[in-house]
């Protein structure tokens, strides 16, 4: 399957990484590639080979078919701890449901909001350590 025809692959890859709360550097290190290489996958400038697709899918907890848009089913099985984390995250989102309705913005805007939030968290941590 030629994933170059799959415009959603770069966005899906980024969303899955952000859902895990990982940086490009962290994921790249786990895969044994450079951060720049992963960034190129996320922007659509480069396409992973079959072996890398398998590694990405395994690391992100989805099937290769889901990753390249052949399937809408993630094939994810959550263990007890992952389920607790997922539940806590959903509860946190509900707390802000009256203030921010993320369904009102498109996927790209949601990613930008998550990126900005992560930037603010990192900035606060850095300020604490000074």
Q: DSSP state, 6?
A: -
Which domains are delineated in the chain?
3-67 (1.10.260.40), 80-128 (no CATH)
Q: Residue 3 pLDDT > 70, yes or no?
A: no
Residues of the chain with pLDDT > 70, as a percent, come to: 58
pLDDT tens digits for 94-107?
Answer: 565 556 666 665 55
Instruction: State the average pLDDT for the chain.
Output: 75
pLDDT tens digits for 41-91?
Answer: 999 899 899 889 989 988 998 888 778 765 554 554 556 665 566 556 556
Q: Is the dihedral of CA 79, 80, 85, 86 positive or negative?
A: positive
pTM value is: 0.53
The predicted model gives 123-128 an average pLDDT of 87
């Amino acid at each position: 399957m030629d994933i170059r025809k799959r415009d959603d692959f770069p966005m899906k890859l980024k969303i899955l990484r952000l859902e895990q709360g990982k940086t490009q550097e962290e994921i790249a290190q786990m895969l044994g590639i450079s951060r720049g290489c992963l960034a190129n996958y996320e922007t659509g400038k480069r396409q992973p080979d079959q072996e890398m697709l398998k590694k990405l899918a395994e690391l992100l907890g989805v099937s290769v078919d889901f990753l390249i848009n052949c399937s809408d089913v993630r094939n994810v099985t959550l263990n007890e701890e992952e389920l607790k984390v997922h539940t806590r995250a959903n509860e946190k989102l509900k707390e802000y449901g009256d203030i921010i309705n993320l369904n009102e913005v498109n996927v790209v805007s949601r990613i930008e909001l998550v990126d900005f939030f992560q930037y603010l968290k990192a900035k606060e941590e850095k300020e604490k350590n000074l």
